Amino acid sequence: MTKDEEHTEKWKITRCLSGYPWNRLKWFNYEDLVRLMYRPTDPSSLGVIRFLFGFLMLTDLPEERAGAFIDLRWGNPRDCHFPLFPFMTNPGYSVISLVYLALCISSCGIMLGYKFKSSAIIFAMSYWYLFLLDKSFWNNHSYLFGIVSILLVGSSANHYFSVDAMLDPSIRNADVPYWNYFILKYQFFLLYFLAGLKKMDFEWLEGYSMVNLGTHWVFSPFRIVLTSDQIDYLIVHWFGFLLDLTVGFWMLIEYTRPVAMVFCASFHLMNSRLFSIGMFPYVCLATMPLFCEENWPKKIISFFARRESIPDEKRRNSKSENKRFKPKLKHKLVVAWLLCHCGLQGFLPYSHFITKGYNNWTDGLYGYSWDMMVHSWNTVHVVIKLVDNVTGKEQFIDNDAYTVTDRWNKHADMCVQYAQCLKRNLENANNTEANQLEGSSSKFPNVSIYIDVWCSMNKRFQQRMFDPTYDLLKANWSPFRPVEWLMPILSEYNDFRRTMNEITEHVYSWSNKSDVLFIADFPGLHLENFIDDNLENITLTVLEGEVVFEIEDHDSFQSLGIKLGKGESVPVDTGVFHKVHVISETPSCYMYTFSRKESEEQPDNPVVAKGAMHSPFPLVENFGERGNRIVAMWKHIRNGIFDILFGIPYEI
């Protein structure tokens, strides 16, 4: 190989990471880095990705952004919301409808590349306003969409395949700075890589995070050689971990990119069938070309047009590099901002040692952590108790009251916000509602609010998450201090999960109606439970520790207590309350075994059953329902306009 050939090969290898021969950066020089970031680059890939992103955001608005349900989410002024900042409040149905109008218009502007800068700014501001207004709807990908919208604001994504380019010849097909690609590529590389790092967790690698996915039709080819449990463990957990951790690197390298993109595309398509996660898989599919050469759309066009691709990018880039671009202060500041963004995005998923108030059994709010699917939750019991401190009268509140989401009850900060919302509703109610507690001493009673949340994380015992004796209206909460009423997860019983699996399989073998529920509780506390008549053959069995089973004797009007140790059981009657007190010095574990009277078929896959898509054709399933949601969203927008402009209120 000649020296020229060696140089060419070296240039190709180094260029596959950024399109720039890194061997020219012999020592770190900030001006050289600025020159790299401002290297003229073909705009065609960025233009196509801009179009696809705008289209998918427009599609996303009536669905995961809930534009079709503005009345349900924002229409009732008494509903509780969970803003990140306390000063943010629900502005009302009409104002929110106009926010959705701004999102619709601006996403169309992004898609078409018309008034692109203004459209991107309006979309980003409107999107982040809705995002910050209620964190109970946060998802990792919701955060990602907002970040991408901000990054597009500073880009020149309208230089190709846009109305702006048609109207302005000066930007038509004009080069864009390489940083336009770099920052988006970096953001999506982090999406994969950090998701892989987060999966380097015992819970994920041991197969406890996701269950019952192996029965889904997308894994049918694997079931020829693997069982459903093996698919869950090997394909879902281990292959998912390895793919997330490495696929970003493989797509950066020119020689491995084609195979990596096949695996990555298959991964996203499978996720779109397995989970109801909106446009996230499609946005990932649409942005995969970021890792390809920037002029790939022109190459495709030239292939079908049977003519050479113009202009010759290599010749143009070589010529541009030889011009010795001299960075100005503006260019240096832009690159400094890019570096700050890169550092911030790498730091935020691990910043939970600062924002301790948002931590519970897992670290951080579910938004920017990238711990996608690492933690699965199963909540079976939520009790909200309101106590009149004057009379001692207790009242239990439906945990679905004043809210359309149930995610709040597993986050301490949102539990506090919910309690404050309940208190406000009580204070603002009319005299009849305000005195719904018998014996209330005033219109604004002196009350306390307690919450008792029972849930299981990653197939553990059901256990309480918060101290049920802690008054949330007096909560000493801060974003920077640990939650003082959070109960620790009973990690000492982690190894019991294998035994629980064996017991579950044994109980399921009794009949197709038999089931089991595993519970663990702390010393000195008790579970008060009521079992309805739909169940039969109910037995409580102690697995570890000691408990007292207490039930009221209706004949003597006294409570009868039965002490139970490890391995002992007691039958449980339906239609009456009973209590299970933990009297051992360590947490106790017990289980309920029972049968269902009703012959309702239970879904084989409860994870998939919650709205997952079963059609093999992405974006085509429930096409009629999607159309109805679009119509519903525009009706809400029309109602908001009529209310604000003409004073015609909409009756919720």
- For the annotated catalytic residues, the residue numbers are 199
Concatenating the DSSP letter of every residue in 272-303 gives HHHS--TTHHHHHHHHGGGGS-TTHHHHHHHH
Residues 40, 45, 48, 52, CA torsion sign? negative
C-alpha neighbours within 13 Å on the C-beta side of residue 7: 4
Are 459 and 516 in contact, with CB atoms under 8 Å apart? no
- Among residues 134, 151, 155, which one has the least CA distance to residue 190? 151
For residue 473 the two structure tokens come to: 């209206």
Q: How far apart are CA 590 and CA 455, in angstroms?
A: 15
DSSP assignment of 419-452 equals HHHHHHHHHHS-HHHHT-STT--SSS--EEEEEE
**Nearest by Cα to 381 from 448, 461, 464, 488:** 464
Token output for 631: 């119509």
- What angle (nearest 5°) sits at the alpha carbon of residue 487, between those of residues 485 and 488? 135
Report how far residue 443's alpha carbon sits from residue 431's, in angstroms, rounded to the nearest whole number. Answer: 6
- Please give the C-alpha separations between residue 467 and each of 8, 421, 450, 589, in angstroms, as whole numbers: 66, 20, 9, 18
Q: Which residues contact 125 (CB under 8 A, 6 or more apart)?
A: none
Burial class (CB in 10 A: 0-12, 13-18, 19+), 512: exposed
Among residues 185, 193, 306, 171, which one has the least CA distance to residue 244? 193
The DSSP code for 486 is B
Phi, psi angles (nearest 5°) of residue 529: -135, 150
Q: Going by C-beta distance under 8 Å and a sequence separation of 6 or more, which residues neighbour residue 203?
A: 209, 374, 375, 458
Nearest-Å Rg of the Cα atoms of the chain is 29
